[in-house]
């Protein structure tokens, strides 16, 4: 069967996490910064290292079968690709930001203003939906310096930590879209046997990230109380201890409310709570 190709970002905010995800899926490949393409020794896959802005079109046109890229880039290029999986990393938002000195209270006040951006497609749709009549100045980079240079009144750019805005005397004004890394595929590729295998591996890695493996000791009298506090994959395993009054409980706890559950378990009499990272969860 034909070797699949997956395109990932060569350098930038998604590169490291994309490589980490593929490695965690058990794929063995070299990650040389200089190479454009890398073979996977233990899976029928080749990895293409590309500029993120090119990835959606390469996937749409079938030059790559799969890609990992920010949703902002996908929306901006208006391609037809299939969303296979949201990946939960590379979270950021596309925001309109204005100079600290500018006082605006409502988005409608952007009417008549100029906004510099590298995301004209998304911005145009946003302004249209809000019925704002602003001028879009499309530039190719360093958007954050344009108000300071007098090139525009505002900007529309990606914000992650907010550091870039701050150091350029800008403040976030409104959210245009939220974005994260997405695993995309060319239309129809989702039925490919190896894509399904890869997708399953990706999902098992993502599930594992959301949960922790927990072992705790508890007196038998308190066991039911503790079990009520535990979700587990099916139900927790209960293992007898040498001390007959006590048992060890093995289970999986979601990261989201981890500390709340741990505190409730301690109140219920749990002792020696040991928490371990999980590598994969396969259903």
Binding site for Zn ion (CB under 5 A): 52-53
Alpha helices in the chain (DSSP H): 15-24, 55-60, 71-77, 120-129, 163-166, 193-209, 223-228, 258-267
Among positions 162, 231, 232, 269, the unique one binding ligand PRP when judged by CB under 6 A: 162
Among positions 160, 175, 263, 267, the unique one binding ligand PRP when judged by CB under 6 A: 160
**Bridge partners, 155 (sequence order):** 97, 116
Binding-site partner at residue 150 among ligand PRP, Zn ion, none, CB < 5 to 8 Å by type: none
| Nearer Cβ to ligand PRP (159/214) | 159
Q: How far is the CB of 73 from ligand PRP (least distance, A)?
A: 8
Between 34 and 63, how does the x/- string for binding to ligand PRP read (CB under 6 A)?
Answer: ------------------x-----------
For the record, the structure tokens of 11 come out as: 């350098």
CB 44 within 8 A of CB 1: yes
Give the Cα separation of 179 and 280 in Å (integer): 25
The yes or no reply on residue 159 touching ligand PRP (CB under 6 A) is yes
Q: What is the separation of C-alpha 243 from the centre of its chain, rounded to a whole number of angstroms?
A: 45
Among positions 158, 182, 214, 218, the unique one binding ligand PRP when judged by CB under 6 A: 158
Q: What values do phi and psi take at 87, rounded to 5?
A: -105, -10
- Where do contacts with ligand PRP occur on this chain (CB under 6 A)? 12-13, 52, 141, 144, 157-164
């Amino acid at each position: 069967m034909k070797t699949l190709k997956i395109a990932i970002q060569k350098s930038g905010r998604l590169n490291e996490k994309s490589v980490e995800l593929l490695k965690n899926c058990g794929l063995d490949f070299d990650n040389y910064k200089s190479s454009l393409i890398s073979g996977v020794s233990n899976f029928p896959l080749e990895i293409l290292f590309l500029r993120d802005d090119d990835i959606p079109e390469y996937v749409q046109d079938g030059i790559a079968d799969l890609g990992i890229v920010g949703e902002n880039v996908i929306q901006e290029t208006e391609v037809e690709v299939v969303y296979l999986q949201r990946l939960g990393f590379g979270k950021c938002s596309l925001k309109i930001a204005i100079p600290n000195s500018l006082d605006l209270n409502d988005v409608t006040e952007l009417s008549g203003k100029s906004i510099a951006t590298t995301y004209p497609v998304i911005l145009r749709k946003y302004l249209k939906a809000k019925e704002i009549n602003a001028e879009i100045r499309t530039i190719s980079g360093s958007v954050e310096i344009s108000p300071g240079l007098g090139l525009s009144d505002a900007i529309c750019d990606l914000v992650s930590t907010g550091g870039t805005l701050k150091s350029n005397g800008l403040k976030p004004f409104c959210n245009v879209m939220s974005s994260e890394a997405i695993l995309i595929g060319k239309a129809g590729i989702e039925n490919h046997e190896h894509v399904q295998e890869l997708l399953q591996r990706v999902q098992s890695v993502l599930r594992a990230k959301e949960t922790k493996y927990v072992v705790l000791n508890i007196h038998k009298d308190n066991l039911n109380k503790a079990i009520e506090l535990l979700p587990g994959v099916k139900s927790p395993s209960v293992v007898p201890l040498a001390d007959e009054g006590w048992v060890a409980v093995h289970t999986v706890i979601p990261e989201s409310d981890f500390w709340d559950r741990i505190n409730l378990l301690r109140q219920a009499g749990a002792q020696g709570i040991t928490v371990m990272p999980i590598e994969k969860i396969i259903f």
